[in-house]
């Protein structure tokens, strides 16, 4: 096992030079895949995720059909080249579980009752993993859903808060996750301040937990701003081109 | 009692549109939460007297009874066809809705009427949450498409191709000298005097699709068509032609 590095230096800076409440550089793009009904690409620093959304469309196999609403199917998958050591492309226990929690984090915002007897399929592919892949996946998936024109209550933005060397920090990366004391991934509907995903790994006191949640909310709001920008960008680019 | 957005503003899902307003909401692209009104999709705000709506920019075609659509025959049974109308549901076209005479599957083959791969101009006669859409081709002008070309666009941008009081489509028809039939499911049928004219019509429609959210579109498209006509040394329709 690797030696634990110093996660916070004497200036209070983290291993990659960030302040404790600072996000990694964000990059978002919408409509990156032509074949999909909706798609998005999201970067949280070195974590890179691409998402394709298909639907609403006919369900195969037919027996999964629900008479009163659409079903949502979600696949979270890490490419075999996403980690330093090759990951077997077969879905692992972890990926199956994450597919489920991500689906549940998104189910609440989609107006599924508008499209009975159909399915909405979400494919999340992690291209490069450096911590926070599930939250980046949720952020990207909600963008792709919006891009597909599927009516939803709100976008969903996700971010993880961690505790490293006794300090609560926003948007932890792989090293901080590995050697930190706690990890708290959160996904929220930013306009309604409703939480759609909340998991925790490690130990936090109750006070720390509430503190961490507040920090997560701050991160979510920042990510939400970037999401909106990315969505509008797809259209404003054309608008600027032709109207000037 | 404020309205937070302007007419024709681009909004995203979850954007707060208005508060404490007595507004009519007619489409699933806007919804109420408490006394606040939000957008549920990416689109353009359409504000008018006591009514708020978001015109979506993306999304699948959802059938409505009475809609004119262009379907693609995908499969057939003894007395019916399965038709793809670019919706989440496959449409059914019964022989009874095609022929004005009795049909005997023992003597006749349904393939001789419409075969797989044929495009048909049809009307939706039934559709609701519980059953798949049913089509008819019995009315005048409906039926198999045997000439011309078909272009596909995103269904939610069809209203832009038609324009306010059909201004855009009238302009397209006169400028490109093409007969244009718009299926509400995002398939458009074009018959022109020559392939060049059809090509220009297709380019123009693709341009409308791409720039659906911008303003001053009709004039821009007219200029575009005239430029393309000149490039190909075709005759331009005379006059400023205000549609």
For chain B, 243 residues long, give each residue's pLDDT as a single digit of tens.
688 999 889 999 999 999 877 788 878 899 999 899 999 999 999 988 788 999 999 999 999 999 999 999 999 999 999 999 999 999 999 999 999 999 999 999 999 999 999 999 999 999 999 999 999 999 999 999 999 999 999 999 999 999 989 999 999 999 999 999 999 999 999 999 999 999 999 999 999 999 998 888 999 999 999 999 999 887 776 555 443
What residue spans define the domains of chain A?
A: 26-234
| A106 interface with B at CB cutoff 8 Å | no
Residue B18's pLDDT is what?
92
What's the CATH architecture for B68-145?
A: Beta Barrel (2.40)
- Please tell me the distance in Å from B121's CA to the nearest CA on chain A: 22
What are phi and psi for residue B134, nearest 5 degrees?
-115, 145
- Please tell me the distance in Å from A37's CA to the nearest CA on chain B: 8
What residue spans define the domains of chain B?
A: 10-56, 68-145, 149-231
CB-based contact B13 A56, cutoff 8 Å: no
Q: Residue A238: which pLDDT band, with cuts at 50, 70 and 90?
A: confident
Best of A191, A229, A243 to substitute, by most chain B Cβ atoms within 10 angstroms, is A191
CB-based contact B13 A55, cutoff 8 Å: no
Residue B49's pLDDT is what?
78
Higher pLDDT, A3 or A204: A204
Q: Which residues of A touch B5 (CB under 8 A)?
A: none
| CB-based contact A38:A53 (threshold 8 Å) | yes
In B, what residues contact A, Cβ < 8 A?
10, 12-16, 28-29, 31, 33, 38, 40-42, 56-60, 62, 88-90, 129-130, 156, 210-211, 213-216, 220
Q: Which residues of B touch A228 (CB under 8 A)?
A: 12
**Residues 22 to 41 of A: which have CB under 8 A from any B CB?**
37-38
**Interface A:B, Cβ pairs < 8 A:** 98
What are phi and psi for residue B235, nearest 5 degrees?
-75, 135
Residue A244's pLDDT is what?
62
- Which whole number is the average pLDDT over A213-241? 93
CB-based contact A147 B210, cutoff 8 Å: no
Q: Is the pLDDT of residue A222 over 50?
A: yes
Count CB atoms within 10 A of the CB of residue A43: 20
CB-based contact A114 B16, cutoff 8 Å: no
- Please tell me the distance in Å from A21's CA to the nearest CA on chain B: 26
Q: Residue A237: which pLDDT band, with cuts at 50, 70 and 90?
A: confident
Q: Residue A2: which pLDDT band, with cuts at 50, 70 and 90?
A: confident
Comparing alpha-carbon positions, the chain A residue that sits nearest to B132 is A117
Relative orientation angle of helices B217-231 and B167-176, to the nearest 10 degrees: 10
Residue B234's pLDDT is what?
78
Mode of pairing for the β-strands spanning A167-170 and A118-128: unpaired
- Please tell me the distance in Å from B209's CA to the nearest CA on chain A: 11
Residue B77's pLDDT is what?
95
CA angle, A60 then A124 then A96, to 5°: 75
Residue B237's pLDDT is what?
66
Count CB atoms within 10 A of the CB of residue B53: 20
pLDDT, one tens digit per residue, over A153-180 is 999 999 999 999 999 999 999 999 999 9
| CB-based contact B47:B65 (threshold 8 Å) | no
Residue indicated by tokens 């259209």: A235
The burial of B239, by beta-carbon neighbours within 10 Å (0-12 exposed, 13-18 middle, 19 or more buried), is given as exposed
Q: Which residues of A touch B216 (CB under 8 A)?
A: 243
CATH top-level class of A26-234? alpha beta
**How many CA atoms are closer than 13 Å to the CA of B241, on its beta-carbon side?**
20
Higher pLDDT, B202 or A2: B202
CB-based contact A116 B130, cutoff 8 Å: yes
Which 3 state secondary structure label does DSSP give B71? strand
Residue B243's pLDDT is what?
39
Residue A13's pLDDT is what?
94
Structure tokens, A43: 């970067």
Residue B242's pLDDT is what?
43
CATH fold of B10-56 reads OB fold (Dihydrolipoamide Acetyltransferase, E2P) (2.40.50)
Same fold for the domain at B10-56 and the one at B68-145? yes
ipTM exceeding 0.95, yes/no: no
CB-based contact A192 B28, cutoff 8 Å: no
Q: Chain-wide mean pLDDT for chain A? A: 95
| CB-based contact A209:A186 (threshold 8 Å) | no
CB-based contact B88 A55, cutoff 8 Å: yes
**Residues 53 to 82 of A: which have CB under 8 A from any B CB?**
55-58, 67-68
Q: Which residues of B touch A55 (CB under 8 A)?
A: 60, 88
Q: Which residues of B touch A242 (CB under 8 A)?
A: 211, 214, 220
| A137 interface with B at CB cutoff 8 Å | no
Best of B12, B86, B91 to substitute, by most chain A Cβ atoms within 10 angstroms, is B12
Q: Which residues of A touch B40 (CB under 8 A)?
A: 111, 151-153
DSSP element (H, E) containing A75 = strand A71-78
Residue A240's pLDDT is what?
80
Residue A99's pLDDT is what?
98
Please state which of the four CATH numbers 3.90.226.10, 3.30.1370.10, 3.30.530.20, 3.40.50.150 is assigned to the domain occupying B149-231: 3.30.1370.10
| Distance between CA atoms of residues B62 and B57, nearest Å | 14
- Please tell me the distance in Å from B159's CA to the nearest CA on chain A: 16
């Amino acid at each position: 096992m690797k030696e634990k590095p110093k996660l916070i230096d004497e200036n209070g800076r983290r291993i990659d030079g960030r302040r404790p409440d600072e996000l990694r550089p964000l990059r978002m793009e919408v409509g990156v895949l032509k074949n999909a009904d909706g798609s998005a690409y999201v970067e949280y620093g070195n974590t890179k995720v691409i998402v394709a959304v298909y639907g609403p469309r006919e369900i195969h196999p037919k027996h999964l059909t629900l008479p009163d609403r659409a079903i949502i199917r979600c696949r979270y998958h890490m490419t075999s080249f996403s980690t330093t050591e090759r990951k077997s492309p077969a879905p692992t226990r972890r990926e199956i579980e994450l597919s489920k929690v991500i689906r549940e984090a998104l189910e609440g915002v989609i107006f599924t009752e508008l499209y009975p007897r159909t399915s909405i399929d979400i494919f999340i592919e992690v291209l490069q993993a450096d911590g926070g892949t599930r939250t980046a996946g949720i952020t990207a998936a909600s963008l792709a859903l919006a891009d597909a024109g599927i009516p939803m209550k709100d976008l969903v933005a996700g971010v993880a808060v961690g505790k490293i060397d006794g300090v609560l920090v926003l948007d932890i990366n792989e090293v901080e996750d590995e050697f930190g004391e706690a990890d708290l991934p959160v996904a929220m509907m930013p306009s309604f301040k409703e939480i759609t995903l909340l998991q925790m790994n490690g130990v936090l006191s109750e006070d720390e937990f509430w503190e961490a949640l507040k920090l997560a909310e701050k991160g979510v709001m920042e990510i939400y701003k970037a999401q909106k920008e990315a969505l509008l960008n797809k259209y404003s680019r054309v608008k600027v081109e032709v109207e000037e | 009692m404020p309205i937070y957005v302007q007419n024709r503003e681009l909004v995203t899902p979850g954007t707060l549109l208005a508060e404490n307003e007595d507004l009519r909401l007619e489409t699933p692209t806007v919804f109420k939460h408490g006394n606040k009104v939000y957008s549920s999709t990416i689109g353009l705000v359409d504000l008018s007297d006591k009514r708020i709506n978001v015109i979506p920019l993306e999304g699948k075609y959802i059938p409505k009874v009475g809609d004119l659509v262009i379907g693609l025959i995908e499969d057939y049974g003894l007395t019916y066809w399965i038709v793809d109308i670019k919706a989440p549901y496959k449409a059914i076209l019964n022989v009874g809705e095609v022929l004005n005479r009795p049909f005997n599957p023992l003597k006749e083959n349904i393939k001789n009427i419409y075969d797989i791969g044929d495009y048909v101009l049809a009307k939706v006669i039934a559709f609701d949450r519980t059953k798949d859409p049913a089509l008819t081709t019995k009315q005048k002008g409906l039926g198999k498409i045997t000439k011309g070309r078909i272009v596909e666009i995103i269904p939610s941008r069809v209203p832009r191709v038609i324009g306010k009081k059909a201004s855009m489509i009238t302009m397209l028809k006169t400028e490109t000298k093409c007969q244009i039939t718009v299926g509400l499911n995002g398939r458009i049928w074009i018959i022109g005097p020559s392939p060049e004219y059809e090509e220009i019509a297709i380019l123009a429609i693709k341009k409308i699709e791409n720039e659906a959210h911008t303003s001053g579109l009709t004039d821009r498209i007219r200029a575009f068509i005239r430029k393309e006509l000149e490039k190909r040394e075709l005759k331009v329709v005379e006059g400023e032609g205000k549609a």
